[in-house]
Amino acid sequence: MSLKESLERFKKQQEKCQTTLSSIASTKAAAAPRPAPAAARAPPPAVKFSNDTERLQHINSIRKGPVGAQIKRVIDLLLETRQAFTPEQINEACYVDANANKAVFDSLRNNPKVYYDGRRFSYKSKHNVTDKNQLRSLVRKYPEGIAVIDLKDAYPNVMDDLQTLKAAGDIWLLSNFDSQEDIAYPNDPRLPAMNVDDELKVLFRSIELPRDMIDIEKELQKNGIKPATDTAKRRALAQSQGIPNKAKPKKKKHEISKRTKLTNAHLPELFSRP
């Protein structure tokens, strides 16, 4: 075979191969799915920004506030709910992040009003009582009296129970003139009777109160007590309206005797015992 014939034969083989490759390419193109038009494609999701700006600013101001203010928020939460909270639950409830603020966490753990069991925080009152019976038993342990202010946070309705015990005669509620605070005293018949010296009884009963309300109000003011009435103002108003004053006749002073009936309005039980 001559060189010319070999070249012709090679060209034909090349043309045949090119035709075969073109046929294969067109077949694959027909089988492949056509891409959807650009207009038919779904738009990408829009980026959403928070519209709760005020709430986020409020949370940020709490977490950047003084440690003391954050502790108060947590203690108020524990006092109102009387439930135990983990740090994560505290963060959800009042936005104080104790886990992210070591000073807040340590202050909570060491606060005398907070009990921490290693996982949860709860409110810790000064006296661990939860109902009226326990309250009565607690007051009976303090013959010298217990300050009501130390009982106010024991449980939610403790003040109502104190009034109930007072009405039932189980306790006395008296005011302390020095601190202007109420003191709860037990009225338990099982307690030993209090003996009062006869001379003290006579001295107590011999004290005569002023007969005019103006003088009584002056004595109250001298002892730092604000009178509930203003007799001088009332009398001046009555005089301006032409209402005459009804002066009470002075009673003859009687000496103390065995037949004299004596009472004490605010402490009737004081001298009832021998």
Please tell me which residue, 171 or 21, carries the higher pLDDT value: 171
Summarize the confidence of residues 93-113 as an average pLDDT: 94
Confidence of residue 241 (pLDDT cuts 50, 70, 90): confident
On whether the pTM is more than 0.75, the answer is no
CA distance 219 to 115: 47
Cβ-count burial 33-54 (b if 16+ within 10 Å, e if not): eeeeeeeeeeeeeeeeeeeeee
| Domains, the chain, with CATH or none | 54-123 (1.10.10.10), 132-186 (1.10.10), 198-234 (no CATH)
Q: Tokens 């005459």 correspond to what residue?
A: 244
Question: Residues 116-143: what's their mean pLDDT?
Answer: 94
Is the pLDDT score of 264 beyond 60? Answer: no
Listed in order, strand segments (DSSP E) in 156-236 are 171-176, 181-186
**How, if at all, do strands 146-147 and 181-186 pair?**
antiparallel
237 has a pLDDT exceeding 90: no
Distances (CA, A) of 255 to 60, 196, 248, 263: 76, 21, 21, 15
* pLDDT tens-digit series, residues 35-67: 555 555 666 665 454 557 888 999 999 999 999
Percent residues over pLDDT 90 in the chain:
42
